[in-house]
Amino acid sequence: MSELAAYLQLGFHHITDLRGADHILFLLALAAIYRFRDWRECLWVATAFTVGHSLTLALAVTNVLTIRPALIEFLIPITIVATGIENLLVRDHVRPFATRRYRPVLAGVFGLVHGAGFANYLRSLFVERIALPLFGFNVGIELGQICVLILTFSAFFVIDRMIAMARPSRLLAAGPARARAIVVSSVVLVVAARWAVERAPW
């Protein structure tokens, strides 16, 4: 296997590993408000997350930026909690995309935090040649994110149909997608809040 393919596989494996659910949970939080037909918008937001994530990772592994790992481990679930709260509080998610540019910015900023999460590991391990492993790792993460989002949107599509067929009238006042977004966001928010408490650095 070429070096690039190996590190691409490593990044893909890292993001899709269910045992370390930080990133998957964050992607769920990002995607929770979108309907199946909004996939392009969600992909744009996820790519903004990757850009932020790649930027910090590059700065951290090249020693330009140094952040305490304990602080980062605490901040990662905080970003998930914040996204979950935003999902619950901002009800009007069907405005034209042009008026909602803050969401990719938010994802990019939160990506900065997530990128620092494993920078220490890469920096320590790849002391001689970091450029190719870093590039391959990031491409693998982006591909992994796309796979996670495809599965997520497929599941959302099925869930929305099921909710619509069940016709719980009060819940449907805001539409099946909103009901599903509330459930998913609440679950994600609570799990991440618990992680944040457990990882509090004080």
The DSSP symbol for 200 reads: -
Would you count residue 12 as binding other proteins (CB under 8 A)? no
Joined together, the tokens standing for residue 135 give: 């590039």
User: According to CB under 8 A, which residues from 143 to 202 bind other proteins?
Assistant: 168, 170-171, 173-174, 178-179, 182-191, 194-195, 198-199
- Of 7, 34, 110, 156, the residue at the interface with other proteins (CB under 8 A) is 7
Nearest alpha-carbon partner for 156 in 181, 137, 139, 173 = 181
Q: Do 112 and 55 meet the contact criterion of CB atoms below 8 Å apart?
A: yes
CB of 88 to other proteins, least distance (A): 7
Distance from C-alpha of 52 to C-alpha of 54, rounded to nearest angstrom: 5
In the complex with other proteins, which residue's Cβ is closer, 51 or 182?
A: 182
Q: Do 193 and 81 meet the contact criterion of CB atoms below 8 Å apart?
A: yes
In the complex, which residues of this chain contact other proteins (CB under 8 A)? 1-3, 5-7, 9-10, 13-14, 17, 19-23, 69, 72-73, 76-77, 88, 117-118, 120-122, 124-126, 168, 170-171, 173-174, 178-179, 182-191, 194-195, 198-199
